[in-house]
């Protein structure tokens, strides 16, 4: 057998990985690029069409180093639009698998687990859309406060994040029962700081009586805001609205909501990508289910569930944000100021 016949091309290797089969069907129309939010919002050099060309042309190292290999979050907006019905994220996933096997690493900052606090419940493993988390066991350093800060080394189970698979959606952090997972830039404290950093008008907490006007907190998924009109509107929201940016609506926890209401916010709006368009696959649906549970909890506390609302912002939105904000303020105005009874804490 000749040497040539035993050496597989880069394209053959990608083709051999499940998902990489339809690589050669691409005729470089560029529809995928026109649909891609990463190219539009984050990385101008992101280009699935070009990556597929690199594979076909045996440009292995260039493909492994290309941002497209690492930044695709498998939102699949391009899949629905591709005239050749190529599952492009699956092809990119095949390239990424080969890159990892070749020793390349993701440039993204992964979620971090405090292994001492983790009790390996596995919730993060279940919610991670990228199968980036696993349960492992090993030695962990624990500070025992009962023993005056003595440091102990214990053998225990904990969650471990694969830095090459984590896409930084934050679903693990918002689902963690031990609050031991953090995402750089979007820790609980950093999100809380965002809420505090913007000036309320008028004042904080809200004025009551005749001076009352609705104070609304809005959590907005970064990926959902695409149209220029919406971006401009968010940069200067109307009086009484405070905006907190999150990587995905799925990063919003019930604790953020309840704490904000407890502090005197009259209403909360969570804005996410519409179903089928979440950049992190299903973070929006996880959040929707979570909000339904939170509303039940509010009901038990005697707080009107209408004070917390979830809204989708479709990819083709053109200035829809202002309407959503006005609708929310109108609803809260009808409900009046929140009455958080002191006995609720």
- The full DSSP string for 154-180 is EEEEEEEE-TTT-----HHHHH-TTS-
Closest CB to ligand FES among residues 23, 166: 166
Q: Can you tell me the distance from the alpha carbon of 188 to that of 249, in angstroms, rounded to the nearest whole number?
A: 14
Nearer to ligand FES, 52 or 278 (CB): 278
- Min CB(328)–ligand FES separation in Å: 17
The distance of closest approach from Cβ of residue 280 to ligand FES in the complex, given in angstroms and rounded to an integer, is 5
Q: Report the distance separating Cα 242 and Cα 200, nearest Å.
A: 7
Tell me 342's DSSP state. Answer: G
Minimum Å distance from CB 223 to ligand FES?
4
Task: Give percent helix, percent strand, percent coil of the chain, each to the nearest 5.
Answer: 45, 15, 40
Closer CB to ligand FES, 206 or 221, in the complex:
221
- Chain centre to alpha carbon of residue 234: 19
Q: 220: part of which helix (H) or strand (E)?
A: strand 216-221
Which lies closer to ligand FES via its Cβ, residue 264 or residue 314? 314
Give the residue with the Cβ less far from ligand FES, 182 or 284: 284
Separation between Cα atoms, residue 120 and residue 132, nearest integer Å: 15
State the nearest-atom distance from the C-beta of 238 to ligand FES, in Å.
23
Residue whose token pair is 């009109």: 229
Decide whether 175 or 284 has the Cβ nearer to ligand FES.
284
Residue with smaller CB distance to ligand FES, 10 or 310: 310
Give min distance, CB of 297 to ligand FES, in A.
Answer: 22
The least distance separating ligand FES from the CB of residue 246, rounded to whole angstroms, comes to 8
Other beta carbons within 10 angstroms of residue 343's beta carbon come to: 6
* β-pairing verdict for 112-113 and 181-182: antiparallel
Q: Which two tokens stand for residue 55?
A: 């594979």
Nearest CB to ligand FES, comparing residues 128 and 221: 221
- Minimum gap (Å) between residue 19 Cβ and ligand FES: 22
Return the sign of the alpha-carbon dihedral for residues 274, 165, 256, 215. negative
Residue 201 Cβ vs ligand FES, minimum distance, rounded to whole Å? 28
Contact, 71 vs 42, CB < 8 A? yes
| Residue 209 buriedness (CB in 10 A; 0-12 / 13-18 / 19+) | exposed
Q: Shortest Cβ distance from residue 245 to ligand FES (Å)? A: 11
Residue with Cβ nearer ligand FES (43 or 157) = 43
In angstroms, the CA 33 to CA 49 distance is 7
Question: In which element (H, E) is residue 113 found?
Answer: strand 112-113
Of 67, 56, 4, 57, residue with least CA distance to 25: 56
Q: Residues in the site for ligand FES, rule: CB under 6 A?
A: 221, 223-224, 248-250, 272-273, 278-280, 283-284
């Amino acid at each position: 057998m000749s040497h040539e016949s035993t050496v597989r091309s880069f394209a053959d290797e990608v083709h051999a990985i499940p998902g990489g089969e339809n690589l050669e069907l691409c005729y470089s129309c560029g529809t995928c690029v026109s649909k891609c939010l990463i190219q539009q919002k984050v990385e101008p050099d992101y280009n699935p069409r070009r990556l597929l060309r690199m594979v076909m042309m045996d440009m292995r190292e260039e493909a492994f180093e290309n941002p497209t290999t690492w930044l695709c979050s498998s939102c699949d907006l391009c899949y629905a639009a591709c005239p050749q019905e190529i599952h492009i994220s699956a092809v990119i996933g095949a390239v990424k698998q080969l890159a990892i096997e070749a020793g390349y690493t993701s440039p993204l900052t992964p979620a971090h687990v405090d292994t001492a606090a983790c009790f390996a419940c596995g919730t993060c493993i279940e919610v991670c859309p990228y199968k980036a988390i696993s349960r492992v066991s090993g030695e962990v350093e624990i500070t025992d406060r009962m023993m005056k800060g003595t440091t102990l080394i214990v053998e225990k189970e904990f969650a471990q994040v694969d830095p090459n698979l984590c896409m930084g959606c934050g679903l693990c952090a918002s689902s963690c029962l031990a609050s031991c997972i953090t995402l750089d830039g979007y820790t609980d404290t950093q999100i809380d700081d965002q809420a505090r950093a913007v000036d309320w008008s008028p004042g904080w907490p809200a004025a009551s009586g005749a001076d009352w006007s609705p104070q609304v907190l809005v959590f907005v998924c970064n990926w959902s805001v695409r149209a220029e009109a919406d971006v401009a509107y968010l940069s200067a929201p109307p009086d009484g609205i405070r905006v907190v940016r999150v990587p995905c609506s799925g990063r919003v926890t019930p604790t953020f909501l309840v704490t904000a209401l407890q502090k005197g916010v009259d209403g909360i709006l969570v804005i996410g990508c519409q179903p089928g368009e979440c950049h992190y696959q299903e973070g929006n649906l996880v959040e929707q289910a979570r909000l339904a549970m939170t509303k039940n909890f509010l009901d038990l506390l005697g707080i009107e569930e209408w004070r917390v609302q979830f809204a989708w912002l479709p990819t083709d939105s053109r200035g829809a944000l202002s309407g959503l904000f006005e609708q929310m303020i109108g609803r809260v105005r009808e409900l009046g100021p929140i009455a958080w009874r002191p006995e609720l804490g």
